[in-house]
Every structure is written in structure tokens, then in C-alpha cells.
Chain A
Amino acid sequence: MTTLALAGVYRSFGPIEVLHGIDLELHPAEVHALIGENGAGKSTIMKILGGYLAPSAGQVLLDGKPVTYASGPEAEAQGVVVIHQEFNLAPDLTVAQNIWLGREMGGLFLDHRAMREATQGLLDQLECKVRPDARIRDLAVSDRQMVEIAKALSRNARVLIMDEPSAVLTHREVEVLFRQIDRLRSQGVAILYTSHRLDEVSHLADRITVLRDGAVVRRAGRGELTEDGMATAMVGRDLKDIFPPRRTSFGPVALEVRDFHVPPLVHGVSFTLRRGEVLGISGLVGSGRTELAEGLVGLRPHHGQILRGSAPAQVRSLPEAAAHGIAYLTEDRKERGLLLTKTLRENLTLSTLADFGAPIISRKLEDAALTRAISDFDIRAPSREMAVGNLSGGNQQKLLLAKTMLPEPEVIIIDEPTRGIDIGTKSQIYHFIDRLAREGRSVIVISSDMPEVLGLSDRVLVMRQGRVAGELAGEAIRETAVVRLVMGTSEEISQNA
């Protein structure tokens, strides 16, 4: 008994066929995980299931009968609801207005109160502290994701299609999300779930379908596939060494931060960082991780001491940070990192343009720098002159890394190095980070991805509510210890550290 299914679905864009005969079945009261690298065809499949795209050949079956939707909303009317990765929320409307957009309660006049109350009920289910009257514009990304989920819950879906809902959520929020998924599953909803986090998949999924290059390469039931097995199936080769081996020797202290404040979010943070070391910073979104990083590179007003080597460093702006050899790679690659409509070259050199000739910029030097960046960071672009927005997320991230490394910084702060990137490219980026450390640079990795923090860091700093909750090194870096510090459930560890 299937609720929604694809039977022999093909899909082409122009001359390029991206799906080659996909069969997929969603059963009631089951979570079906669809995994694959970026470009494997997951998004296309979800769009076809959700009625946003029509198959070029093959059928979509709802309750065993072929259906063709004219649009996403038509599919929604049939109980097939998609939670999009790119949010479909109107930034200037409130949470309640967004959730009921197009289905407002009331007759001639809107029943604002009923909508607010219903919204509050949905948010309470999700343990989300956002007010129904808050404007989407003022919400953090993770809260927006929760609103998007609330919106889907409000639709009484029979089939729920979730496109990487956890990518921007913190540990705690992911747990809430999982509880909601469990609840919906027990109510008989058929759920399609995608994520790059394989631990989530093995925890949640009753059924797993692995995609590679537009075809199904593996199907498995619960417990039949280990995380390594999933990764191998996705990539098509063995991925034993997702993480590079740990470094063993470190140089002298490269950066020391003493009693550092970034009002109003970061208070009294102190830490040291050695040459050749990777320091992981963990913590919830809103714990002040990003604000700390932005303070350290002069993007936010701050006070406290920064020492490079043993000399105090004044860092009031990005150029001053660059002068002290400190660089920052933003977590928001599309809105703060790269100019999506510009070419690779223009993006690569933007922050170091003064080094490429004055007053006339030397195209030759720029091109040479791009050639080097492409080979150093294995950037795969069909054309050097294409807009960066058309690159895959992984290649965008590699370009951003190349851009950050262009001035040869000695201390590199990388905020969410692999958000929304497939496992193959992730592993590559981990090895780049390792290479930077082995060259004698110091790297700070801020991440919400727990395996990443655990697998990459020589030392882990955990932040909670703007303060350092604890520090873990060597054998003490274990998931349970980090999570305890993140959640604030273990005072003794933070004191011992």
C-alpha cells in the first residue's frame, strides 16, 4: 500500500536528462530517506513529487492512481506538502500571516485572533519560542525553518516532503523536529526526508533510497545500511577517510584572546590557538559563535585583548584584521560570501583587489590567481566566465575558501565550512583545512555539524549564551561531552576543563 509513488520517471532539462527511470514509493506511517550527493537528482525528484515539475516520461501515482498536478498548490490540496529548502516566506509579513497565506481564516473580514491562536498552537508543538506576530525578516534562519515546518504542519498533510530541514537547525531544534516527525509518522503520514547528515538518516529512516547521477543505486530498509555504507553508495567509492588524520605537533601560540566582549552577545571569552592547530567552536545558533568570529575580525564593535604571537593587535576593521593575518570565512556564502551574479575571477579577487595593480587592475594577474585557485582547491566550473551563482554549493564553498586564503592569512576562522554540501566535497574541504594546519596556519572551525567538530578539531571550545561553557581536548572530545556542554547540563565538566 503506497501513498505516493514514482514509476519509471524520467526528466530532462533541455537536452540533458537528469533523472533516468526513477521508481520510488512512499508508504503511510513511514519515513523514507532520499540521499545522494549534490546534483544526484534529489531536488528534481522532490519537485516532481510536490507537483512543481512534471516528469518528461513515467508516472506519479497517488494512492495507486496516476496524477498530474498543474502546480504545487494543487498537489497541496491533495495533501502532498513540501517543506522547501529555500524558504517560501514573505519577509515583511508576520509568522501568522505567512502560515495562513492564501488560506486565511474568516469571512469578509479576517479573523486575526483565530489565526494567531492556531499559529501559537503550532509553534508550541514545535517548542518554538517565536511570537505569531513577529516579522519573518526579524527571525533567525533556524526560526524561519521552524515556521516553514509549522506551515507544513498546518496543512494536515498526508505526504510530507522535507528538503534538508535540518541544514540550518541546531542540535536542540533537530531533536524537536525529530519528535514531530515521529508524531506525524505515528499518525500515518508518509514522509520523504533528505539530509546530508547521515547520522540523522540512520536514526530516522524506515527506508533509504540512495541516488547517484540521476539513478537509484541502492535501496535499503532500517538497519541494513551503515553510515559508511550510505556514504560509499552515494559517492560510488570507498570513503574511509572522510576526515584527515589528526595532527600531532603544534607550533607556538599564534593567537591569544583575553576577556573578549562583543556586546550584547559575547561576554568574557578567552582562548589560545597554536600554529598548526584546528580549534573547533561548537554551540547553539545564538550562542555567540558567529558574533565572536565577526568581532575578532573587526566586523563588530568589541572590547578585550587580541594578541598575535605576543604582540597586542588592534582589529577594528577587516583590513586591520587582514594586516594582522586574520581572515574570516562567513557562514552565509550566498548573502555575505559571494557575488552570485559575478564571475569566478571577480569574486576571487574582490577582497584583495589592491594587490592586483593600481590604478589599473591587471587582468593577467587576476587570471593567474584564478588558475592557481582552481587547481589548489579543485574548483570545478564548466567555464571561468560563468556566474558563481550557477556553480554547485560545494564549488562555491571552495571558491570562497580560495578567496579567503588569497591574502595568505595565518589565522583562518571558518564559519560552517560545509553547510549544504555533499559528502564528497565535504571530505575534500576537511582535507584542505588539514593542509592549511599542516602548513603551519591556525584554523578555527565554527560548526553546528557535530561529526565535523569531532572529526576535525584538535581542541573544542563550546559556547553557551555568549560565554565559553568549556573546552575539550584530545580523548575528551566526545559527542556526549560536547552535547552536555552545549546544553549546559554538566557544570563539572566546564569547571574541570
Chain B
Amino acid sequence: MRDRLTLSTLGPLAALFALILLGAGLNENFLSAANVTNVLARSAFIGMIAVGMTFVITSGGLDLSVGSMAAFVAGMMILAMNALQPSLGVGLPLALAGIGVAILVGLLAGLANGLLITRAGIEPFIVTLGTMGIFRSLVTWIADGGTLSLDFSMREFIGPIYYGGILGVSWPIIAFAVVVVIGEVVMRHTRFGRYCEAIGSNDKVARYSAVKVERIQLLTYVALGLLVGFATVLYVPRLGSASGSTGLLWELEAIAAVIIGGTALKGGFGRVWGTVVGVLILSLIGNILNLANLVSPYLNGAIQGVIIVLAVVLQRRKSSAEGR
């Protein structure tokens, strides 16, 4: 095993278990199938994005635009489905068209970020700060400051994408699990994952080792864009609408989950399963605050903030110990 069982690897896991115990102790409904499904399904959107973000951050990049991108993708998906409904009618073809549009828009948005970063050589922070504003502004403009809503009949039709499932496990959870398993395998056992870590550790060494640095970096942004597309496909059926505030602060939650999970913010080391733990920790805090009337749910952000800072402090400890 590459991960030795140290405090920093076990830290996030221990925190997750502590939260589960705390939740179970505070409210008997916490471990009910309904609540667990609810938490996991809500985690799925951020979770899938966070898996993509893990690769971006591991290879030394950053993407601040994913929340806005999700809103933009949702907006385009709804717009396209409403526009095509008269010709395709309510049914599977229209649903597939919507899914196709969402995935395509996500891919193109990721490609745009990636090309600006790798071809134009602009800092990832600057590029995605820019596209973050652009995507969100476009959605608000298209929605004319209001909400883009899917036609009611179509909303009924695609509802099961979020609410349905097999054997009691809902689709978002299944999709999330599939993405995680693939992500973990790609990160740890394929060239792509190894190259991401190499580039994040030292891109010059990677270049001198015949790694196609720009191509790998570009691919991480495209993959992230794709995952934003997938996440949006699962998200739109939940509410059937998109607005300027869709996906607000998702980028921060995704980045926070990656960091809490033990991936180094400066790149070079990525842990997909850690990211999953990070996502679950963040969702559970919100869930527990809602269930137990202990602390006001309005303090959710504050508690999440403390956890993020704590996680980075732990990381620092670890790296300074290694530096000895």
C-alpha cells in the first residue's frame, strides 16, 4: 500500500465515523434508509465534480468555474429540451437529447478552460475565475434574471433520473459510485493518474521524462467538464429548473472536499477515495445540523470552514514531518 496508516490518512476517515456516531446519537432517524439515501444523493453532484477536481488539483491546476459551469450546463439543457419538445415530443428521445446537450456543453466548457490554461498559458486561477463569472452571468442573462424551467410534462418524465433507481439505490448514488471507482482506478493504476501526480510534483521533471504535460493537463479540465455535465444531468430532474443561483458555491465545496480528503492543494498527490470521504463529511455536517436542533443550521458554513482549515493544518504537519 502506498498510503501508510498514518494520522493524516486516518484523520478524515476518523472524522467521518465520528460524525456518523454523533448523528446516530442525536437523532434516531439519522441512520434510516430515507436519510442515508437523501444524504448520499445530495452528495452525488458535488461528489462527481469533486472526483474530477481531484485530478485537476493533483496535476497542479485549479478550477473555480465548476459551480457556474453546472448552472450554465443546466440552463442550456433546459433551453434545448424546451426548444426540442415540439418536434420530439415528451419521451425518451427528448430526454436523451437533453442529456446529450448537457454532456456536450460540459465537455466544451471544460475544453475552453483547458485550452486557455495550456495553450494560452494563463494561470488556472485567473482563467477559471474569469469563466466562473462568464458562465454564471450567461445563465442569469438567458433566464433574464429569473428561472429557466423545464416544461411540466417533461419534468415528470425525467424525474426518475433523480428519484428512481434499482434495488432501492437511487441513480445519482449509483452514478457517483461508478465515477468514484473509475476515478480511484485511474488515479492509482493508470498512466494518466501517475502523470497527473508527476506533473503536480514537478512539471519540469515530467516534461524531461517525455510526459505530454499540456495534453494531460488539458484532459483533466475536459474530464472535469464532462463530470460537471453528468452531475447536471442528475441534478436537473430534481428541481426541473435552473437560475443564476444554481450551483452556487459548488466549486468551493468541491475544492474543500478534495483538500479534506488529503489531496495536496499544490498538487503532486491525489487521493480519490479521500475526496469521497471529504464530500461525505461536508454533507453530513449539514445533515446533522438540520436533524439535531443543537446548533443553528445557519452555522453550517462556519463548521465546514473550521474542518477545512483543520484538514490543511494536518496536511502541513505531515509534509513537515516528511521534510525531516
Contacts and interface: CB of A to CB of B under 8 A. Distances in A.
Contact of B191 (A328, A343, A353): A353
Interface in A317-361: 317-319, 322, 328, 330, 335-343, 346, 350-351, 353-354, 358-361
A7 interface: no
B206 interface: yes
Interface string B182-201: 00010001110011011001
Contacts of A337: 205, 208
Contacts of A338: 205
Contacts of B28: none
Given A351-B210, A360-B190, A387-B322, A342 B204 contact: no
A354 B191 CA distance: 7
A341 B268 contact: yes
A64 B140 CA distance: 78
A299 interface: yes
Contacts of A341: 201, 268-269, 322
Contacts of A342: 197-198, 201
B314 interface: no
Contacts of A339: 198, 201-202, 205-206, 268
Contacts of A318: 208-210
Contacts of B10: none
Interface residues of A, number: 28
B142 interface: no
Contact of A361 (B189, B197, B209, B322): B189
A358 B189 CA distance: 9
A351 B202 CA distance: 14
B248 interface: no
Contacts of B175: none
A340 B205 CA distance: 10
Nearest to A321: B210
A494 B141 CA distance: 73
Contacts of B268: 339, 341
B208 A299 contact: yes
Nearest to A329: B208
B141 to A, nearest CB: 40
B210 A335 contact: no
Contact of A319 (B191, B198, B206, B210): B210
A336 B198 CA distance: 11
Contacts of A350: 194, 198, 205-206, 209, 211
Contacts of A346: 194, 197-198
Contacts of B190: 358-361
Contacts of B197: 342, 346
A354 B211 CA distance: 11
Interface string A59-91: 000000000000000000000000000000000
Contacts of B210: 317-319, 322, 351
Contact of B208 (A330, A340, A353): A330
B204 A336 contact: yes
A328 B209 CA distance: 10
A335 B191 contact: no
A198 to B, nearest CB: 31
Nearest to B199: A339
A131 to B, nearest CB: 26
A481 B322 CA distance: 48
Contacts of B206: 339, 350
A387 B324 CA distance: 11
B191 A358 contact: yes
Contacts of A360: 185, 189-190
Interface string A359-389: 1110000000000000000000000010100
Nearest to B189: A360
Indicate the member of B201, B210, B268 with the most A CB atoms within 10 Å: B210
A351 B191 CA distance: 10
A328 B207 CA distance: 12
Contacts of A385: 2
A354 B201 CA distance: 20
B269 A351 contact: no
Contacts of A335: 202, 204-205
Indicate the member of B197, B202, B208 with the most A CB atoms within 10 Å: B208
Contacts of B205: 335-339, 350
B194 A361 contact: yes
Interface in A288-340: 299, 317-319, 322, 328, 330, 335-340
B233 to A, nearest CB: 25
Nearest to B208: A336
Contacts of A358: 190-191
Nearest to A338: B205
Contacts of B322: 341, 387
Interface string B308-324: 00000000000000100
B202 A353 contact: no
Nearest to B4: A385
A342 B197 CA distance: 9
B290 to A, nearest CB: 40
Contacts of A359: 190-191
Contacts of B269: 341
11 contacts: A328-B208, A336-B208, A337-B208, A339-B202, A339-B206, A341-B268, A343-B2, A350-B194, A350-B198, A361-B189, A361-B194
List 3 A-B pairs, minimum CB-CB distance, nearest first: A351-B209, A318-B210, A350-B209
Interface of B: 2, 185, 189-191, 194-195, 197-198, 201-202, 204-211, 268-269, 322
Given A350-B205, A351-B210, A360-B190, 6 more contacts: A318-B209, A336-B204, A341-B268, A350-B194, A358-B191, A360-B185
